Amino acid sequence: MSTPLPFSIVIVEDDPWYGQLLQYHLSLNPDYQVTLYTSGQELLHNLHTLPDVVTIDFGLPDMEGRELLRRVRERQPELPIIVISAQSKITTAVELLRMGASDYLVKDEYTKDLLWNAVLKIRETSRLRQQVQQLQTQLQEKYDFNRLLKGNSPAIQRTFHLMERAAQTPVNVSVTGETGTGKELVAKAVHLKSERSKKPFVAVNMAAIPTELLESELFGHEKGAFTGAIGRKIGKFEEANGGTLFLDEIGELSLPMQAKLLRVLQERELQRVGGNERIKLNVRLITATHKNLAEEVKKQAFREDLYYRVIGLPIELPPLRERGSDILFLAKHFLEEFCQEQGRPVPALAEETQVRLLAHSYPGNVRELKTIMELAAALCNGQEILPRDLLFTPATSGADLGLLSEQRTLREYSRHIIRHHLDKYDHNVPLVARKLDIGKSTIYKMVQDGEL
């Protein structure tokens, strides 16, 4: 375990006695490393040592306090600087604070204690800033595309490529996919990989908010705007200003609400309900829906002009049933993740269990598979997950039993699945190979050997 670096403090004071007094007082804390300089030039010459905080005497003989503050700020804009001065003019203190000084202390009998407290405050602020940076790094790692959407299938690799492009561009993004494919996680990942990563990410599920409350929820309201508006409310657009707003299930918006949203997107400003102030917006919009918005436009259930505003860069999340071998890859991942959390050994997947997992249709997609594997791990009594440990949704499991009730080898099941897909896609071998994530040569060889 590495020893933490000491908190580095530099004191700039031309009076040797007073400087040594401050140095001794701060050195009483064993975590502090305190250095004393007697001129502004000495400080500027040693700024490359990157101290954590600097105190400067306002009345140095070689350099006026304002000038020294300005020059330090130019080279180290984030460095906390405490100015200590014999002057007690309020105007001087205000001017220096506006120039970027962290604090202004007047030389008197209380200076040592005030300096001690000022340094403590700066140190705590620095510690909190480091924690925030660490959390941001952890979040970025957590939402790294390859960690978020595990898999090697061509379908998911295409999604990764689009997510990378979306993170590098400022345009709006629309995410489509069935329930359970991970649309909100994709939106978070794009945000945290973009230049807006240090700004807010605000998510709104449009389908979960009553229509009569949606305008207030998105745009905010002023006190007295309607019955029950007992104070000002900041809307989601304002919360996300400078960052990203994720509107999930945008296809559920009513036509009147679509018109209001369109106006805000066009003008890049809003007015709170019941207010007159125009609030400028700088928001990156990411939307998601399980509906086909182009079809909704044809049915006149979604405004065409709004459609072109929100569509931006489209990212389609493939359903799990079209991701081929990713099913087993994810199943093993969820199994290992659950068992590690529970502190139990990870069981293997029996061959028949793998066949059954591959044959299931997964209407709930990745979310459903995760639940299936966690339940299977809980039900497993041995070193293998057996077919009896898999609990599929009643609505779809019956469709799988016709095939799975037969005793076949894995090779026979594979032939059956490939033959089914060849019939479904008019014997388009390249397309079937992509859908099942297998090589075209595998299919051609099975045809040549008379297996298909």
Cα separation values, 291 from 162, 168, 256, 294, Å: 20, 26, 19, 9
| Angle, CA of 295, 300 and 302, to the nearest 5° | 75
What's the whole-number mean pLDDT along residues 18-36? Answer: 92
Residue 414: pLDDT band (50, 70, 90) is confident
Confidence tier at 401 by pLDDT (50, 70, 90): very low
- In 3D space, the residue among 287, 282, 307 whose CA is nearest the CA of residue 297 turns out to be 307
Is the domain of 285 the same as that of 349?
no
Residues 6+ apart with CB under 8 A from 18: 107
Q: For residue 164, is it within any domain?
A: no
Predicted local confidence at residue 415, as pLDDT: 75
Maximum distance among all alpha carbons in the chain? 99
Q: Within this chain, do residues 114 and 229 fall inside the same structural domain, yes or no?
A: no
In a domain, 435, yes or no: yes
Cα separation, 217 vs 235, whole angstroms: 5
Query: Cα–Cα distance between 14 and 35 in angstroms, integer?
Result: 13
Q: Are 304 and 326 in the same domain?
A: no
Overall average pLDDT of the 241-265 stretch: 94
Which structure tokens are listed for 167? 């993170």
292 and 201 in a common domain: yes
The CATH number given to whatever domain includes residue 183 is: 3.40.50.300
Is residue 283 domain-shared with residue 327, that is, in the same domain? no
Out of 297, 318, 339, pick the residue that ends a domain: 318
Same domain, 114 and 177: no
Which phi and psi angles does 73 have, rounded to 5°?
A: -60, -35
DSSP 48: G
Q: Token pair of 387, please? A: 């077919």
Q: pLDDT for 173-228, tens place per residue? A: 999 988 888 898 899 889 988 999 889 999 999 888 888 889 999 999 998 888 87
22 and 108 assigned to the same domain: yes
pLDDT of residue 397: 45
Same domain, residue pair 291 and 358: no
Handedness of CA 215, 216, 221, 223 (dihedral sign): positive
202 with 263, same domain: the answer is yes
Question: Which whole number is the average pLDDT over 285-294?
Answer: 93
- pLDDT tens digits, 80-121: 999 998 887 888 888 888 888 999 999 888 898 999 999 999
Which residues are within 8 A (CB) of 233 and not within 5 positions of it... i.e. 6 or more apart? 216, 220, 221, 272
% the chain with pLDDT above 70:
90
Q: Are residues 232 and 101 in the same domain?
A: no
pTM value is 0.56
Residue 413: inside a domain, yes or no?
yes
Residue 153, in any domain of the structure? no
In a domain, 109, yes or no: yes
Q: Are residues 312 and 343 in the same domain?
A: no
Q: 56 and 43 in contact (C-beta within 8 Å)?
A: yes
Residue 135 pLDDT > 70 = no
Of 264, 296, 318, the residue that ends a domain is 318
- Contact yes or no for 177/317 (Cβ under 8 A): yes
The domain tally of the chain equals 3
CATH number assigned to the domain comprising residue 367: 1.10.8.60
Q: Is residue 396 part of a domain?
A: yes
- 328 and 240 in a single domain? The answer is no
- Cα distances (Å, whole numbers) of residue 320 to 22, 35, 146: 66, 62, 16
269-270 and 279-280 as β-strands: parallel, antiparallel, unpaired? antiparallel
Q: Which domain holds residue 130?
A: 7-137
Domain boundary among 137, 164, 181: 137
Report pLDDT digits (tens) over 435-445: 777 778 878 77
How large is the average pLDDT for residues 162-183?
A: 91
